[in-house]
Amino acid sequence: MLRASGVSLAKKASSSIRQLSSKAATATASFPEAKKRFIPASGTYPRGFFVGGMHCGVKKRGGPDLAVILSDRETTASAVFTTNQFCAAPVQLDRETINRARSAQKQIVRAVVVNSGCANAVTGEQGLKDARVMAEAGDKLVRKFDAGRKGATTTTKTTATDGDDKGEGDLASLVMSTGVIGQRLPLDNICKGIGEIELGESHDMWMRAAVAHMTTDTFPKLLSREISIGDPQAAKDGKKTVIRMAGITKGAGMIHPNMATLLGTVCTDAAITQPLLDKALAYAVARSFNAISIDGDMSTNDTIAVIANGAAPAAAPAIDSEDSAEYAVFRSELTKFMAELASLVVRDGEGATKFITVEVEGARSFDDAKRVASTIATSSLVKTAFYGKDANWGRILCAVGYAGIPLDTSKVSLAIYPGDGTAPLALVSAGEPLLPLDETRASEILDQEDVIVRVGLGLGSESARIYTCDLSHDYVSINADYRS
């Protein structure tokens, strides 16, 4: 477990990490006006993380395509990956790296290196070799970073070449790739970029990293948060008992559980053990990134990672017991944070015009509720009805009926709620349609960008929520010429 040390750590990355030209580092697309409200203008970021983004030459059309997240100390790392059997080379390598850390009970991860524009998926053995080279370039950047910190000392080693006992060939960097499947990475460009990238702690640097994750995304997805944890009295006494979280994700298509994350990294300065981080992530993912769907396709590269470096103030307690109040707070806050990140992915669904929340309550189990909600959320008929602003509620009940769980149809209820908090429209009660349909109110609700579908099963007390979007003409247009 890592805790903040008393060492005074350098506030800036090494000057030997070359500063790129402003144009190369900050080049961005023009973000849609309607999406700008989801882009933060500032943030509060976890201590000890240095990040950046740039264009290195992966994307044919230009634009930022390389991001690095680097911790100034080793971290506890956990990740969940796609279940697609054609999992990409980075997924295979990262799974191996994290499992090695778990087995050895060591914190070995120092950096996450991400490229966009090329997925390095279905690339065979050569793709795996390329992923290793990319990770090794990340390790070299870590060594350069450590060597350049002025006046700082460290009690940890970063690589096997520094004389530690991690073993020959061990990797300390995770790698993620997203983009076109079946093509090799332009390794020379990527490795050169990793060696040159500018890193920093500011909001601008975090935003650069977020922009560099984008492929068909229309806006960068970045969140940060400060969370109170530990003894409330200590906080009253002026001691800092807060931890911080920051998360970057990307995705707009090929999003469907399990895993439906595309790419995402959550950084925290909390000190937490490996087993508890694994458990907290599994719980949070089931209620966030594995609770979203855009098009029913599951990517070959889906990865969500959480890395904790323990750099929070000493008054913030270590999270080392599953029965502790600190763990309960951490798990709850991580779940909320990741659900918000996941919702940004759905809001940017390829061609989407609506953000739809499907809530199912009154189920016998969480799994049953989630299964029904997912079935509704992935129905093309339901999604196209929302795009057409058509209150065709029969399609929703049809999806409930074929979800594959035992039902008592005489207990089912259905209503739609507008995102503005005004009155909902009840459609079905106790299995009976509420006729005649108020077409005027239905039209008012379906005109809104945010719509909630609430289904009651009347069978128990469990509930689940899935986020999805509508299916439009633009989705076809975007995906018809993705490679061109």
Catalytic site residues?
Answer: 261
From the number of C-beta atoms within 10 Å of its C-beta (0-12, 13-18, 19+), residue 195 rates as middle
Q: Encode burial over 345-367: b for 16+ CB neighbours within 10 A, e otherwise.
A: bbbbbbbbebbbbbbbbbbeeee
Residue at token pair 């790129």: 20
Close Cβ partners of 63 (under 8 Å, ≥ 6 residues apart): 27, 28, 29, 55, 211, 214
The Cα 417–Cα 444 span in angstroms is 10
Helix (H) or strand (E) holding 357: strand 355-363
The Cα 183–Cα 119 span in angstroms is 7
Tokens of 446: 């379906």
Tokens of 481: 């010429």
The Cα 214–Cα 218 span in angstroms is 8
| SS (HEC) of 96-137 | HHHHHHHHHCCCCEEEEEEEEEECCCCCHHHHHHHHHHHHHH
The Cα 282–Cα 335 span in angstroms is 10
Secondary-structure breakdown of the chain: helix, strand, coil percentages, each rounded to the nearest 5: 35, 25, 45
The CA–CA distances, whole Å, from 36 to 147, 215, 256, 265, 301 equal 39, 17, 25, 21, 27
Question: Which residue from 95, 88, 96, 142 is spatially nearest to 115, judged by alpha carbons?
Answer: 88
Is the separation of the CB atoms in 90 and 175 below 8 Å? yes
Tokens of 246: 């920051």
Q: Which amino acid is at 474?
A: D
The Cα 336–Cα 258 span in angstroms is 19
Here the contacts of 435-440 (C-beta below 8 Å, separation 24 or greater) are 437/391, 437/393, 439/391
DSSP 8-state symbol, 231: -
Tokens of 121: 């998926």
From the number of C-beta atoms within 10 Å of its C-beta (0-12, 13-18, 19+), residue 416 rates as buried
The Cα 331–Cα 364 span in angstroms is 24
